[in-house]
Amino acid sequence: MNIQADLTPPLPEGRWALFLDIDGTLLEHAAHPDSVAVSAELRSLLQAVEHRLDGALAFITGRSIAAVDRLFDPVKLRIAGLYGLEHRLTPSGKIE
């Protein structure tokens, strides 16, 4: 039996983008939205995935972008916040 040292699955062929929900997907639901915490491991994983997808990673959330930025600091991604009422098209771009 041959066990791979690197268990990272290969990316599918072609160009892909990954859109991630936060509450109930990346983070467990909590009694209050401010009681969730983001681990250093999750931050690191998100940065690695964003790099591997050449930036094609974004959050989709009901939270405001400002709240997500505080929660995931220092990680900033492309994002649609408040169910699409606000968005940031680049990690360092302005919120519209």
Confidence of residue 26 (pLDDT cuts 50, 70, 90): very high
What is the tally of structural domains in the chain?
A: 1
Token pair listed for 75: 């990680």
Does residue 80 belong to any structural domain of this protein? yes
pTM: 0.83
Assess whether pLDDT exceeds 90 at residue 1.
no
Query: CB within 8 A of 12, min separation 6: which ones?
Result: none
Does residue 71 belong to any structural domain of this protein? yes
Does residue 96 belong to any structural domain of this protein? no
Cβ neighbours around 21 below 10 Å, total: 12
Catalytic member of 6, 21, 23, 34? 21
Does residue 6 belong to any structural domain of this protein? no
Does residue 72 belong to any structural domain of this protein? yes
Query: 72: part of which helix (H) or strand (E)?
Result: helix 65-72
Domain that holds residue 42: 18-88
Q: Is 21 a catalytic residue?
A: yes
